[in-house]
């Protein structure tokens, strides 16, 4: 790769050009794309490890350029993607969220972003000093999605100029990842990538359990839940105390929240001691009703003989098990609810003399946990350097936006009604058609609308594009989340600024 | 609007140094008067001592630390360790309580003891901050020493010491305790009544291990910790502070480069401590008079300890091993005397599924690297890495899916372990029961040695009877290569005499 090109030169040149470039023309988008490809090769920001990917991916480059209008590998059209970034993506809020303030600081400047380009090349260690540069680069690269990493001690772009070990992660939101694939062995409705309302209930209960533990036990307040775009949810705990946790403390939290241990082969996965820890007690209270509804009715988990066998394996008493097995074998279509009731019924009739009621109760509690307790991808939470998909990007497979979920209304959240990017763009057009006065507006914000906070432009308050769409409530929720976070940050910063003279704001910054 | 020059420092943002304030700030260094027997070693020493003292004190402390470490390698129980360490401590590093002398803390003898303790600690910090490995071991040994002394401390002085630390522990009022009594009972294992303990509220980050095990009650970021966890909290605090300052020391260390008085002493000290790591020294595992070649590994593998045996079995089964497995096994093979050429041949033959090109490009380099043939700085790489000791192998916490390295006694589930043992011919019920018990108590060395003693019991009996081997030759095995050598020698000795007679 020609490394001689100065890295500073190419972005600034492109910065000048791009805003003026017309966006709705398919050929132009193709042109931009091609240019990006060349840029990639010049760009010396590639980590050594990904250089190989880039080379491999450069060869198919002419293809998307030739048929720019055709859907890219992602399933979402590249120019749809670009239009989304230009008109809808809340760059300004994302910046404020990560920057914890309005004036650009290291919290944002040293933050790692990792971009997945349309050709599936993966660019790590990107960073941006300001919201505007961030937006410009995203528009230029037009990534199919991007992820957010930690804040480093130095600018991640400078990492190659540093001696090994000098660039250290210093802070990142504490994150959690719930993915439906981990539930495949207990959901009967769908498998793999697909979801439906029935199995989304697992995510809902996971959100509730984790959210209440983080708030009540750990005292965190600023927890942002985000729909992952297909079949899961992410949590971003943004309290300053959480952001600065070292890895071993993160591991401690992950361990605290982990109830299911061992792989699918290890038999009984819940082995908790009695008396129950308050966290487990509370979770059990939350989960009991879900178990009755989701596991027993919606999923009808124990209907099949294989699953029923597994259930028996979790019960403690042999003679009870035999009695149950006989009963279930004689009526193969017995629904889960009845089977679950059978356990107590048979236990009461005293078919077994060895049965201890406490043991049975404990075993039943364990079963409820086994089938409903959140299954976290713990590795994501344990390491500060782990990258997680940014809120509000498009899931390339489904086209749905990764919108925030209000944990207080987690029950109402419907993943299948989350707007897709095509719907949103259609909504803008429909709105503009209805309000012909806004034709001017509709063109203007193209250039700067989604990035510049329209409400700050004094006098003429223009409607933002997102306000014309069903994305509005989600962005407003995000905005109020940030407002609460910043309120706390300001208190912290005020302390800091008592020692450091206050920074004069750039007059051009809002 | 765009800040092109984001890197320029705003003139108003530059660090301003107020010289007046600096002049009257409390100095970071100060004379210490040691009011307590224990010390968290927060303040570095400043007084002058002679070079002889510098060296002698450090050596004395090192002797103690090395013994403490050896005790833990040999899996001695706390009581055994105590009886072993106490005489050493009173000889090399006495540290008396305030009540030991009539004048209390002001007594000069007391002050001297404490000064020596304090200074020697800091000298060793200098000596052991250079590498990650040394830092970890030093912190471990120091923590054990501190714990030992803390437990022996007189309870009144201990309380005074804890109070002097300002540890930000907020006592829980009786009223509050009763309010959350049920939760405390649920959360704290082994607790019968809440009123038999004094409770403290601390930031949960301070008791992260308790949190991780979910054995403490948490409320809004505060952990409710019973008084009996005090010890572990202090230990955690001690280790955390020590590790942090060792890290800082290591960064400051290059400034000593020019010094020709202390640097040689420090280097010497760290080398001495280094020997404990290798209970094993270069060439120790070699067996004389036996040519070890790639083709003889299969037959020799019966003498391998279980960790290497398991790797060998895995290798033969899958014709492949993952990176850390290869590394652990290669170093072991190097230790038993397999030459580099033979070793490359061995791996080449073992990786049946790979073409020559694949092998040369993906694996050969690592083997040569392990032997010190390539890589890094020619002057520093020496002969590559030393073969892993049990401690090193046991210390690996991340044996992941599909990986075969590590210690079977520690990293396998008990059932799999027993299965593996049976497949290697250990069928004795009594031994297997003992192994289960040892593993349950995390005494992995003992389990391994138990298997060794069982499988070599007739040979051991024989050498003991004819007096060719002393007890020292049959000491606990703490290195896989020692295991191999001893096993090999015992088995060949048993065969040798009849052949000699014939």
Q: Does B222 touch chain A (CB under 8 A)?
A: yes
Contact: B12, A241; criterion CB under 8 Å: no
Question: Taking the CB of residue B14, how many other CB atoms lie within 10 A of it?
Answer: 10
ipTM: 0.74
From the list A105, A100, A113, the residue with the least C-alpha distance to A156 is: A113
Query: Which residue, among A256, A263, A281, would best test binding to B if mutated, counting the most B CBs under 10 Å from its CB?
Result: A256
Lowest mean pLDDT of A83-92, A310-319, B204-213, B253-262, name the range: B253-262
Assess whether A173 carries a catalytic annotation.
no
Lowest mean pLDDT of A193-202, A489-498, B306-315, B450-459, name the range: A489-498
Q: H-helix or E-strand containing B146?
A: helix B132-152
Residue-wise pLDDT for A450-471, tens only, equals: 444 444 444 456 788 888 899 9
DSSP assignment letter at A462: P
Q: Does B376 touch chain A (CB under 8 A)?
A: no
Residue B307 known to bind ligand? yes
Q: Does B472 touch chain A (CB under 8 A)?
A: no
CA distance A250 to chain B (A): 9
Q: Name every chain B residue with its beta carbon within 8 A of the beta carbon of A219.
A: 219-222
A83/A424 Cα distance (integer angstroms): 11
CA distance B272 to chain A (A): 28
B102/A382 Cα distance (integer angstroms): 53
Estimate to the nearest angstrom the gap between the alpha carbon of A380 and the chain centroid: 11
Query: Which residue, among B7, B16, B182, B218, would best test binding to A if mutated, counting the most A CBs under 10 Å from its CB?
Result: B218
**H helical segments located in B253-318:** 262-277, 297-300, 306-318
Contact: A252, B212; criterion CB under 8 Å: yes
Residue B71 known to bind ligand? no
B315/A242 Cα distance (integer angstroms): 44
Residues B378, B381, B382, B384: what is their CA dihedral angle, to the nearest 10 degrees?
-130
Q: H-helix or E-strand containing A227?
A: strand A223-227
pLDDT band at A444 (very low <50, low <70, confident <90, very high): very low
B6, B189, B211: residue with CB nearest A273 = B189
Q: H-helix or E-strand containing A235?
A: strand A232-237
| pLDDT attached to residue A61 | 37
Our CA angle for A411, A176, A451, nearest 5°, is 85
From the list B140, B114, B148, B117, the residue with the least C-alpha distance to B231 is: B148
Our CA angle for B127, B131, B132, nearest 5°, is 125
B187, B208, B222: residue with CB nearest A277 = B187
Q: What does the domain layout of chain B look like in residue ranges?
A: 51-163+237-277, 165-234, 294-321+332-339+387-501
List the pLDDT tens digit at each of the 502 positions of chain B.
455 555 555 555 555 556 566 556 665 556 677 888 888 888 888 888 888 888 889 988 988 888 888 777 666 777 888 888 888 888 888 888 877 777 776 778 888 888 899 999 999 998 888 877 788 888 988 998 998 888 888 778 887 888 787 777 788 888 888 888 888 888 888 777 777 778 888 889 888 888 988 989 999 999 998 887 777 778 888 888 898 899 888 888 888 777 788 888 888 787 766 544 444 455 566 766 677 888 888 888 888 999 999 899 888 888 888 888 898 999 999 888 888 888 999 998 888 888 888 888 888 888 888 888 876 555 555 667 788 888 888 876 666 656 778 888 888 888 888 888 888 888 888 889 989 888 888 888 888 988 998 888 888 888 888 877 777 677 778 888 888 888 888 888 776 554 333 3
A95/A107 Cα distance (integer angstroms): 10
* DSSP codes, B201-217: EEEGGGGHHHHHTT-SE
| pLDDT attached to residue A287 | 94
Residue of B172 and A30 predicted with greater confidence:
B172
User: Has residue A199 got a pLDDT over 70?
Assistant: yes
Tally A–B CB contacts below 8 A.
79
* DSSP codes, A47-105: -GGGHHHHHHHHTTTHHHHHTTTS--TTSS-HHHHHHHHHHT--HHHHHHHHHTSSS--
Name beta bridge partners: A175: A236
Backbone angles phi, psi at A55, to 5 degrees: -60, -40
Lowest mean pLDDT of A133-142, A275-284, B199-208, name the range: B199-208
Residue of A463 and A410 predicted with greater confidence:
A410
CATH topology assigned to domain B51-163+237-277: Transcription Elongation Factor S-II; Chain A (1.20.930)
Backbone angles phi, psi at A169, to 5 degrees: -70, 135
CA distance B20 to chain A (A): 15
Handedness of CA B238, B243, B248, B250 (dihedral sign): positive
Give me the residues of B, 382-411, that contact A with CB < 8 A. none
Q: Name every chain B residue with its beta carbon within 8 A of the beta carbon of A251.
A: 208, 212
Contact: B221, A503; criterion CB under 8 Å: no
Name the residue in chain A with its Cα closest to that of B7.
A129
pLDDT band at A14 (very low <50, low <70, confident <90, very high): very low
Contact: B12, A249; criterion CB under 8 Å: no
**H helical segments located in A272-352:** 278-290, 305-313, 318-330, 336-348
Contact: B211, A12; criterion CB under 8 Å: no
Residue-wise pLDDT for B276-316, tens only, equals: 444 445 556 676 667 788 888 888 888 899 999 989 988 88
pLDDT band at A300 (very low <50, low <70, confident <90, very high): confident
Taking CA atoms, A443 is separated from A24, B244, B450, in Å, by: 11, 57, 81
| pLDDT attached to residue A455 | 44
Q: Name every chain B residue with its beta carbon within 8 A of the beta carbon of A509.
A: 1
Contact: B211, A501; criterion CB under 8 Å: no
Contact: A217, B186; criterion CB under 8 Å: no
User: Has residue A7 got a pLDDT over 60?
Assistant: no
Assess contact for B200 and B171: CB atoms under 8 A.
yes
Contact: B3, A12; criterion CB under 8 Å: no
Assess contact for A478 and A97: CB atoms under 8 A.
yes
CA distance A379 to chain B (A): 12
pLDDT above 90: percentage of residues in chain B: 6
A168/A166 Cα distance (integer angstroms): 6
Contact: B185, A273; criterion CB under 8 Å: no
Q: H-helix or E-strand containing B368?
A: helix B364-370
Assess contact for A403 and A474: CB atoms under 8 A.
yes
* Maximum Cα–Cα distance across chain A: 84
| Exposure b/e, B240-253, CB count within 10 A at least 16 = b | eebbebbeebbeee
Q: Is A151 helix (H, G, I), strand (E, B) or coil?
A: strand
Assess contact for A55 and A40: CB atoms under 8 A.
no
B224/B183 Cα distance (integer angstroms): 10
Name the residue in chain A with its Cα closest to that of B10.
A503
Q: Does B5 touch chain A (CB under 8 A)?
A: no
Residue of B474 and A58 predicted with greater confidence:
B474
| pLDDT attached to residue A414 | 92
| pLDDT attached to residue B12 | 59
| pLDDT attached to residue B81 | 84
From the list A109, A156, A152, the residue with the least C-alpha distance to A134 is: A109
Q: Cα-atom radius of gyration of chain B, to the nearest Å?
A: 28
Q: Does B155 touch chain A (CB under 8 A)?
A: no
Question: Taking the CB of residue A29, how many other CB atoms lie within 10 A of it?
Answer: 25
Contact: B208, A133; criterion CB under 8 Å: no
Q: Name every chain B residue with its beta carbon within 8 A of the beta carbon of A253.
A: 211
Residue B390 known to bind ligand? yes
* Active-site hit among A45, A179, A211, A366: A179
Residue B407 known to bind ligand? yes
Contact: A256, B212; criterion CB under 8 Å: yes
Assess contact for A491 and A239: CB atoms under 8 A.
no
| pLDDT attached to residue B376 | 59
| pLDDT attached to residue A437 | 61
Assess whether A182 carries a catalytic annotation.
no
* Active-site hit among A45, A177, A370, A427: A177
Contact: B220, A241; criterion CB under 8 Å: no
From the list B441, B446, B442, B416, the residue with the least C-alpha distance to B431 is: B446
Q: H-helix or E-strand containing B490?
A: helix B480-501
* Active-site hit among A112, A182, A317, A370: A112
Q: What is the mean pLDDT of residues A62-68?
A: 37
CA distance A133 to chain B (A): 7
Q: Name every chain B residue with its beta carbon within 8 A of the beta carbon of A91.
A: none
From the list B30, B152, B33, B171, the residue with the least C-alpha distance to B97 is: B152
DSSP assignment letter at A262: S
| pLDDT attached to residue A322 | 86
Q: Name every chain B residue with its beta carbon within 8 A of the beta carbon of A14.
A: none
Assess whether A112 carries a catalytic annotation.
yes
CA distance B435 to chain A (A): 21
């Amino acid at each position: 790769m020609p490394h001689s090109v100065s890295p500073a030169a190419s972005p600034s040149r492109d910065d000048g050009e791009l805003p003026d470039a017309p966006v709705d023309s398919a050929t132009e988008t193709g042109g931009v794309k091609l240019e990006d490809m060349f840029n990639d090769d010049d760009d010396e920001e590639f980590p050594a490890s990904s250089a190989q990917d880039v080379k491999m991916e450069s060869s198919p480059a002419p293809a998307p350029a030739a048929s720019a209008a055709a859907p890219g590998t992602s399933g979402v059209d590249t120019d749809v993607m670009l239009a989304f970034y230009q008109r809808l993506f809340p760059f300004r809020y994302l910046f404020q969220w990560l920057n914890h303030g309005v004036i650009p600081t290291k919290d944002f400047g040293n933050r790692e972003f990792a971009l997945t380009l349309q050709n599936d090349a993966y660019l790590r260690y990107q960073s941006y000093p300001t919201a505007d540069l961030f937006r410009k680069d995203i528009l230029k690269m037009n990534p199919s999605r991007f992820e957010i990493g930690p804040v480093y001690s130095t600018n991640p772009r400078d990492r190659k100029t540093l001696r090994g070990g000098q660039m250290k992660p210093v802070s990142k939101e504490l994150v959690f990842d719930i993915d439906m694939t981990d539930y495949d062995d207990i959901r009967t409705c769908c498998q793999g990538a697909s979801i439906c309302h029935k199995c989304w209930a697992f995510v809902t209960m996971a959100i509730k359990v984790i959210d209440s533990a983080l708030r009540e036990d750990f005292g965190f307040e600023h927890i942002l839940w985000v729909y992952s775009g297909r079949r899961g949810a992410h949590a971003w705990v943004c309290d300053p105390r959480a952001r600065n946790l070292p890895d071993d403390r993160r591991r401690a939290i992950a361990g605290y929240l982990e109830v299911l241990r061992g792989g699918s082969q290890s038999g009984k996965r819940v082995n908790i001691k009695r008396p129950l820890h308050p966290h487990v007690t509370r979770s059990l209270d939350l989960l009991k009703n879900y178990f009755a509804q989701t596991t027993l009715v919606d999923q009808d988990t124990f209907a099949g003989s294989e699953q029923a066998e597994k259930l028996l394996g979790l019960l403690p008493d042999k003679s009870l098990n035999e009695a149950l097995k006989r009963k279930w074998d004689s009526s193969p279509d017995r629904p889960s609810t009845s089977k679950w009731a059978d356990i107590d019924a048979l236990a009461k009739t005293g078919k077994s003399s060895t049965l201890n009621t406490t043991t049975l109760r404990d075993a039943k509690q364990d079963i409820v946990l086994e089938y409903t307790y959140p299954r976290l991808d713990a590795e994501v939470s344990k390491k500060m350097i782990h990258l997680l998909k940014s809120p509000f990007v498009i899931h390339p497979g489904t086209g749905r936006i990764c919108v925030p979920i209000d944990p207080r209304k987690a029950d109402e959240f419907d993943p299948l009604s989350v707007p897709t990017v095509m719907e949103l763009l259609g909504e803008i057009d429909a709105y503009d058609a209805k309000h012909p006065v806004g034709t001017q507006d509709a063109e203007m914000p193209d250039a700067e609308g989604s990035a510049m906070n329209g409400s700050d432009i004094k006098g003429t308050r223009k409607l933002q594009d997102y306000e014309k769409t069903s994305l509005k409530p989600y962005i407003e929720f995000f905005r109020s989340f940030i407002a609460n976070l910043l309120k706390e940050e300001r208190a912290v910063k005020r302390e800091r600024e008592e020692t450091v003279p206050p920074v004069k704001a750039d007059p051009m910054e809002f | 609007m765009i800040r092109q020059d984001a890197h320029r420092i705003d003139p108003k943002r530059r660090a301003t140094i107020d010289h007046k304030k600096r002049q009257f700030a409390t100095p970071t260094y100060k004379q210490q008067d040691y009011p307590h027997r224990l010390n968290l070693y927060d303040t570095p020493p400043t007084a002058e001592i002679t070079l002889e003292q510098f060296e002698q004190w450090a050596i004395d402390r090192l002797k103690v630390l090395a013994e403490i470490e050896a005790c833990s390698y040999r899996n001695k129980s706390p009581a055994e360790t105590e009886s072993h360490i106490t005489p050493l401590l009173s000889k090399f590093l006495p540290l008396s309580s305030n009540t030991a002398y009539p004048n209390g803390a002001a007594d000069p003898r007391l002050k001297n003891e404490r000064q020596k303790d304090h200074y020697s600690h800091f000298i060793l910090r200098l000596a052991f901050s250079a590498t990650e490995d040394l830092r970890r071991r030093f912190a471990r040994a120091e923590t054990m020493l501190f714990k030992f002394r803390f437990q022996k401390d007189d309870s009144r002085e201990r309380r005074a010491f804890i109070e002097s630390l300002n540890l930000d522990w907020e006592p829980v009022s009786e009223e509050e305790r009763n309010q959350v009594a049920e939760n405390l009972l649920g959360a704290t294992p082994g607790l019968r009544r809440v009123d038999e303990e004094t409770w403290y509220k601390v930031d949960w980050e301070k008791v992260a291990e308790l949190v991780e095990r979910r054995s403490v009650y948490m409320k809004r970021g505060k952990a409710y910790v019973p008084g009996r966890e005090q010890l572990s909290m202090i230990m955690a605090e001690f280790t955390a502070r020590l590790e942090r300052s060792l890290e800082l020391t290591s960064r400051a260390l290059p400034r000593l480069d020019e010094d020709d008085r202390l640097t040689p002493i420090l280097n010497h000290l760290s080398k001495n401590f280094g020997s404990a790591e290798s209970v094993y020294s270069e060439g120790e595992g070699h067996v004389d008079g036996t040519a070890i070649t790639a083709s003889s590994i299969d037959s020799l593998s019966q003498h391998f300890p279980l960790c290497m045996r398991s790797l060998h079995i895995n290798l033969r089964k899958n014709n492949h091993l993952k990176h850390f497995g290869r590394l652990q096994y290669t170093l072991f093979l190097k230790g038993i005397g397999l030459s580099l050429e033979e070793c490359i041949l061995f791996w080449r033959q073992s990786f049946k599924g790979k073409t020559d090109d694949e092998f040369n490009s993906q694996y050969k380099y690592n083997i040569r690297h392990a032997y010190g043939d390539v890589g890094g700085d020619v002057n520093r790489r020496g002969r590559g890495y030393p073969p892993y000791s049990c401690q090193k192998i046991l210390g690996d916490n991340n044996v992941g899916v599909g990986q075969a390295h590590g210690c079977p006694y520690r990293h396998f589930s008990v059932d799999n372990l027993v299965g593996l043992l049976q497949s290697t011919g250990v069928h004795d019920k009594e031994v297997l029961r003992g192994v289960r018990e040892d593993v349950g108590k995390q005494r992995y060395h003992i389990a391994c040695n138990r298997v060794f003693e069982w499988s070599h019991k007739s040979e051991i009996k024989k050498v003991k009877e004819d007096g060719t081997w002393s007890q020292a030759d049959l000491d606990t095995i703490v290195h896989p290569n020692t295991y191999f050598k001893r096993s090999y020698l015992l088995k060949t000795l048993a065969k040798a005499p009849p052949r000699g007679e014939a």
